[in-house]
Amino acid sequence: TWSMAGYRAAKVADIRAQVGDGKVICGLSGGVDSAVAAVLIHEAIGDQLTCVFVDHGLMRTGEAEQVVGLFREHYHIPLVHVDAEELFLAGLAGVSDPEAKRKFIGKTFIDVFEAEAKKLGGAKFLAQGTLYPDVIESVSYTGGPSVTIKSHHNVGGLPERMDMALVEPLRELFKDEVRVLGRELGLPEAFVGRHPFPGPGLAIRIPGEVTKEACDTLRKADSIYLDEIRKAGLYDAIWQAFAVLLPVRTVGVMGDGRTYDKVCALRAVTSIDGMTADIYPFDAAFLSAVATRIVNEVPGINRVVYDYTSKPPGTIEWE
Ligand code: XMP
């Protein structure tokens, strides 16, 4: 009978057979998939693995610190942390088309990653946390294989360019199975249970131009929203919840004064694998408490709306 312990042992053997005594580099995104892949590969080949975390500055509050802490302190896995926030924000200046953002972030990520890999020297293998839905996403809900809905920045490109062989131990798994494997490998529950986070990060949750100021504003609103979701005990019932900072300003009133600030949209969905999704039906009282906190506590936001769109026809992310 199939078990995750059996899968773990089989993959450890596969990885050893594939890489022999070669060096492997693994890009960490901050998400569960790449973290689970890295820990599994480390179990198989120890310090033949080096992880590279390209920090594009488009992470949520505290996320980069968590990743670095988990890998360096908890697992003692060799990790290179590249702070590339300025490079990414400079390149995103003036860019507002969603695909242009995705392509710039994907390309820059690869450039930075490649430069780091060269510095490390001589790795023949590249590890990725590719899941089964990543492999089939473009055919799964568009109705046809020829339509690209979104360019995912974590699939493809890199291996050919760097002449590296891929190590993808999660390729047969769905997200819920990756979580089971993560627990099996002893990853902390708070990390394993985390909502998925897209490779392009907050850039695709800020329609229009991405600036440092917008990222900081969004981080504040997003952490209030998630904080309230956790306090209400709803975090694990939701596949993904996040705030989106809209480029639209609206008029409001606070105290005696007029405000003219941005709109924040809240999204929360349930899903099995991200390919289809339903909205999470919060109580009105919950949403109104979150809206009040965000407007009171986050300068630059004076209105909060809730996204009621399922997938399809909406996608989970706004871009
Ligand atoms: P959409 O927006 O296409 O998202 O409904 C489906 C799931 O994929 C995540 N997502 C990404 N993950 N790189 C990733 O690693 C990406 O470029 C990317 N774009 C979307 C999204 O957060 C959701 O879980």
Residue nearest ligand 1's atom 10 by CA: 198
Mean pLDDT of the chain: 92
What is the average pLDDT across 181-203?
A: 93
pLDDT at residue 203 greater than cutoff 80 = yes
Element (H, E) at 81: strand 79-83
The CA 198 to ligand 1 mean position distance, Å, reads 5
What confidence tens digit (pLDDT) does each residue in 94-114 have?
A: 999 999 999 999 999 989 999
Q: Ligand 1, closest atom to CA 277? A: 5
What confidence tens digit (pLDDT) does each residue in 173-185 have?
A: 998 999 999 999 9
Given a contact cutoff of 8 angstroms between Cβ atoms, the answer to whether 161 and 114 are in contact is yes
Residue nearest ligand 1's atom 3 by CA: 315
Q: Which two tokens stand for residue 204?
A: 């695709």
From CA 16, how far away is CA 173, in angstroms rounded? 19
Helices (H), 93-233: 98-120, 132-140, 158-162, 175-184, 189-192, 212-231
- What 3-state DSSP class applies to 225? helix
pLDDT at residue 136 greater than cutoff 90 = no
Ligand 1 and 302: CB distance under 6 A: no
Residue 138: what pLDDT? Answer: 47
Is the fold of 4-192 the same as that of 211-306? no
Detail the residues annotated as belonging to a binding site. Answer: 29-35
What confidence tens digit (pLDDT) does each residue in 258-274 have?
A: 999 999 999 999 999 89
Detail the residues annotated as belonging to a binding site for ATP. Answer: 29-35
Task: Give percent of the chain with pLDDT exceeding 70.
Answer: 94
Residue 18: what pLDDT? Answer: 98
The CA 252 to ligand 1 mean position distance, Å, reads 33
pTM, rounded to two decimals: 0.90
The CATH code belonging to domain 211-306 is 3.30.300.10
The CA 37 to ligand 1 mean position distance, Å, reads 18
Weakest-pLDDT range from 7-11, 45-49, 159-163? 159-163
Ligand 1 and 198: CB distance under 6 A: yes
From CA 79, how far away is CA 68, in angstroms rounded? 8
What amino acid occupies position 28?
A: L
**Fold designation for 4-192:** Rossmann fold (3.40.50)
Burial of 68 (0-12, 13-18, 19+ CB in 10 A): middle
Burial of 173 (0-12, 13-18, 19+ CB in 10 A): buried
In this predicted complex, what is the ipTM?
A: 0.99
Given a contact cutoff of 8 angstroms between Cβ atoms, the answer to whether 210 and 190 are in contact is no
Ligand 1 and 293: CB distance under 6 A: no
What confidence tens digit (pLDDT) does each residue in 271-312 have?
A: 998 999 999 999 999 999 999 999 999 999 999 999 999 999
What is the average pLDDT across 129-156?
A: 66
Domain extent listing, the chain: 4-192, 211-306
Q: Ligand 1, closest atom to CA 197? A: 22
Element (H, E) at 5: helix 4-19
Query: Sign of torsion, CA 180 182 184 190?
Result: negative
